Amino acid sequence: MNEPPTLWHAVTPGETRYSAAISDAATDVLVIGGGFAGLSVALELANSGTDVTLIEARRIAWGASGRNAGFVVPNFSRADPASVTARLGRERGRQLLDLVGRGADTVFDHAAEFSLAEQADRSGWLQPAHSPQMAAVLQRRVADWQALGRPVTWIGREEAVARTGVPIYHGALADASGGVINPVAYARAMAAAAASAGAVIHEETAATGVAPDGSGWRIATRQGASLRARRVLLATNAEALGAAVQLARLIVPLTVYQIATAPLPAERIAAISPRREAVSDTRANIFTYRFDADDRLISGGMAILPFGAQRRMARRIAARLASELGLADVPPVEHVWTGTAAVTRDFLPHLFALGDGFHAVSACNGRGVAMTTMLGQALAPMLRGDVAQDQTAVPLAPARSIPFRAFARAAPSAFLVQGMLRDRAEIRQSNGSHSAARQHVEYER
């Protein structure tokens, strides 16, 4: 496995194992990748009676879908409705906005259907503004989402501070449809539902190549089985081995370090998060936190220098939590893990055509749970042959490799350094020296 165990894998019982593909087989649609993207597509296709097979190189939820913080956020990380319609046009932009805006609704509908109980908490999501400039940006964003009928509101400075425990904020976007989930429990339940509906699922089945085969495609596997399909969807996030490299070259991988503390006392939680809302603010050096069902505090961050960063980042993320939230002590860390997000050039989800009937999709960009859950609804009609590739709600983009990709991998670290300096200056300017001093521990150098 060669990856640190996550909180979610440690606390989620009842893993179902799916056999590897050991013999040749044919299917109508083959999905490569057993994360939220691939599972949502397989579930939608199976529910509509389509013959679909999903293969996963390791295990369900092994990759980013099992290694995130479990935020359910139905919007974009670096875009707002106005910029989406400006880029895609009003009709196509509204189509994508409708899809994304319904993301949390669909996740929590699935959670209820899958009986996830306390592993899914629709407590809402807050995006606080760290400066007056970002407060103005968020207020416009609130108005745009409200015009689309979404339950998004603006809360003022005093209320934002009371609901987050962080004194520097200038208000916040509040989305009542958002919340948090145990991503491993969610992915495993989605796989079980897809299998129950008729999807064939194989774990430990790595695709090493995809080649044309008459009117369809032949997928070679590391185990030696040869699979044939009329249509193929590559949904492998930032994985870069075997056939997955064809998607990996189109995105920038972003490594995020996550921690979960020991459970906090109820009175401490009530003081810093009376509604238990998930929080992720507007700083480039983003500050996030949430609680799990057992009252652990979960947060994450990026490393400027990735070498040997796991232990260092655990200490610094915990120290930042204590500083930002005004905790008397740095909470002990029980779990540390990493995950890799896939980032597109414009931070929007995209469909890529790799051949006639062979597509790849990338939709993470820091909003993976809600965004990728919607891919089933968006892409199943195309994979059934009912909708053209350029008419899906996920915009089609040219399959152009990221230029100088080796250097592009280092870009997030460079932007983080620049952003941290800008964050500090903006907070000092807008809050005064006392508040700026308490802004945060410089948790990464």
DSSP letter string over 4-64? PPPHHHHH---PPP-PPP-S-EEEEEEEE--SHHHHHHHHHHHHTT--EEEE-SS-TT-SG
Q: What is the dihedral of CA 309, 324, 422, 301, to 10 degrees?
A: 30
Q: What is the DSSP string of 374-417?
A: THHHHHHHHHTTSS-GGGSSSPEE--PPPTTHHHHTTHHHHHHH
**What's the confidence (pLDDT) of residue 1?**
45
**What's the confidence (pLDDT) of residue 137?**
96
**What's the confidence (pLDDT) of residue 365?**
86
CB 3 within 8 A of CB 337: yes
CATH entry 3.40.980.10 includes domain 7-68+184-251+345-403? no
417 has pLDDT over 80? no
In which element (H, E) is residue 107 found? helix 103-113
240 has pLDDT over 80? yes
Residues β-bridged to residue 300: 258
Whole-number percent of the chain with pLDDT over 90: 81
User: Higher pLDDT residue, 194 or 406?
Assistant: 194
State the CB neighbour count (10 A cutoff) for residue 328.
7
**What's the confidence (pLDDT) of residue 425?**
80
Rounded CA separation 282/288 (Å):
10
C-alpha to C-alpha distances, 32 to 2, 56, 60, 247, 355, nearest whole angstrom: 21, 6, 12, 11, 15
Per-residue confidence band for 402, with pLDDT thresholds at 50, 70 and 90: confident
Whole-number percent of the chain with pLDDT over 70: 91
Rounded CA separation 351/395 (Å):
6
**What's the confidence (pLDDT) of residue 78?**
86
**What's the confidence (pLDDT) of residue 405?**
61
**What's the confidence (pLDDT) of residue 4?**
57
- pTM (2 d.p.): 0.93
pLDDT by residue (tens digit) across 278-337? 999 999 889 999 999 999 999 998 877 666 778 889 999 999 999 999 999 999 999 999
User: Higher pLDDT residue, 5 or 264?
Assistant: 264
Rounded CA separation 436/62 (Å):
39
pLDDT by residue (tens digit) across 173-184? 999 999 999 999
Task: From 369, 196, 355, 345, select the one nearest 290 (Cα to Cα).
Answer: 369
Per-residue confidence band for 438, with pLDDT thresholds at 50, 70 and 90: very low
pLDDT by residue (tens digit) across 69-90? 999 999 998 899 999 999 999 9
Residues 6+ apart with CB under 8 A from 140: 80, 82
**What's the confidence (pLDDT) of residue 295?**
97
* Average pLDDT of the segment spanning 402-414: 64
pLDDT by residue (tens digit) across 24-79? 999 999 999 999 999 999 999 999 999 999 999 999 999 999 999 999 999 998 89
* Average pLDDT of the segment spanning 379-400: 96
408 has pLDDT over 70? no
Task: From 68, 62, 70, select the one nearest 34 (Cα to Cα).
Answer: 62
**What's the confidence (pLDDT) of residue 418?**
64
